[in-house]
Amino acid sequence: MERATRYSKKREAILNVIRATDIHPSAEWVYQKLKPDHPDLSLGTVYRNLALFQRQGMIQSVGVVNGQERFDGVTAPHSHFVCRRCGAVMDLHRTKLDVGLDHRVEEEYGLSVERHELIFYGCCQDCLGKAEAHKI
Amino acid sequence: MERATRYSKKREAILNVIRATDIHPSAEWVYQKLKPDHPDLSLGTVYRNLALFQRQGMIQSVGVVNGQERFDGVTAPHSHFVCRRCGAVMDLHRTKLDVGLDHRVEEEYGLSVERHELIFYGCCQDCLGKAEAHKI
DNA sequence: ATGACTGCAAAGACTTTGCATCTTT
DNA sequence: AAAGATGCAAAGTCTTTGCAGTCAT
């Protein structure tokens, strides 16, 4: 059983920052974002709370991009796109996956499936534009 | 342009090891597997060659599981299952994804899509069994 | 007061890299 | 001989953790 959690101003702030952005931030990004308003915040606290939020199911990991784990405050199922050039992670809310897919995989392979991730890799619009500009 | 690559006994061995298994090994696993036959192999060489194989498109990363990057010698599109308990990564060859998906995402979002990954997370059969045995 | 939360800094884990040496061509 | 490949070990990144002090209940 997870021990009781008390209120904490910094914990609240960390969750708010994650929920207020759609860039799927890393721990470091959250830390930098909060530093101005919480000068005494430490990176360890960010990591500890990210881990807590994950255990509680309030946020999810989108995976590791360029060595840094990226998080998503939206836990409803949706797909992601990862730019291999700049590391941007974006939501693809319009790309729906079959709702029964998890269950079908369970049946077919005899596994217990909790969730799935559909991730597209490529080059984002920004980077495509920059690459183009560079060539000219 | 990638500089020319010469033959190397160890490089060949590394690729063979990856191609001979379906466990989606980590660098460390490849290293340990080769150590008996190549006592003077170094982990750095494994990393360097894994990076090379990736650039050449001979292997692909399946992502980072429990802190370690995992690789797949099969580059043809297929889905994966990751056990959150033991970290096992397995192929789901029977779970096909729409072939035109990449292209449709490109059109819909104005991105350049190279490939996608569909990964299921849950508990594998082995771990389900162990959990069951533990309860009794 | 109790026990959770945090800052700080050290430790850990994985990966990358510089350099001298060995191999391939 | 020239240039790539490797071993070794140091360095680099990101993340976790121990401990003493602080804060919520």
The angle at the Cα of B38, spanning B34 to B44, to the nearest 5 degrees, equals: 75
Q: Is the CB of A134 under 7 A from strand C?
A: no
H/E segment holding residue A67? none
A46/A31 Cα distance (integer angstroms): 7
Please answer whether residues B59 and B18 qualify as being in contact, where contact means their C-beta atoms are separated by less than 8 angstroms. yes
Q: Strand locations in chain A, DSSP E?
A: 60-65, 68-72, 79-83, 89-92, 112-123
pLDDT digits (tens, 9 = 90+) for B28-44: 999 999 999 999 999 99
pLDDT digits (tens, 9 = 90+) for B8-31: 999 999 999 999 999 999 999 999
Q: Chain B residues with CB inside 8 Å of A109's CB?
A: 81, 92, 94
Give B132 to chain A, closest Cα distance, Å: 13
Domains of chain A: 1-74 (1.10.10.10), 76-136 (3.30.1490.190)
Give B40 to chain A, closest Cα distance, Å: 28
Question: In the prediction, which pLDDT does B52 show?
Answer: 98
Question: In the prediction, which pLDDT does A131 show?
Answer: 75
Please answer whether residues B75 and B68 qualify as being in contact, where contact means their C-beta atoms are separated by less than 8 angstroms. no
For the segment A75-79, the average pLDDT, to the nearest whole number, is: 93
Average pLDDT, chain A: 94
Report the candidate in B60, B61, B48 with the shortest Cα–Cα distance to residue B5.
Answer: B48
Q: Considering the entire predicted model, what is its pTM?
A: 0.94
The angle at the Cα of B91, spanning B88 to B94, to the nearest 5 degrees, equals: 145
Taken in order B35, B37, B52, B44, the sign of the CA dihedral is positive
Q: Is the pLDDT of residue A90 over 80?
A: yes
Other beta carbons within 10 Å of A2: 7
A106/A109 Cα distance (integer angstroms): 6
Put simply, whether B118 touches A (Cβ < 8 Å) is: yes
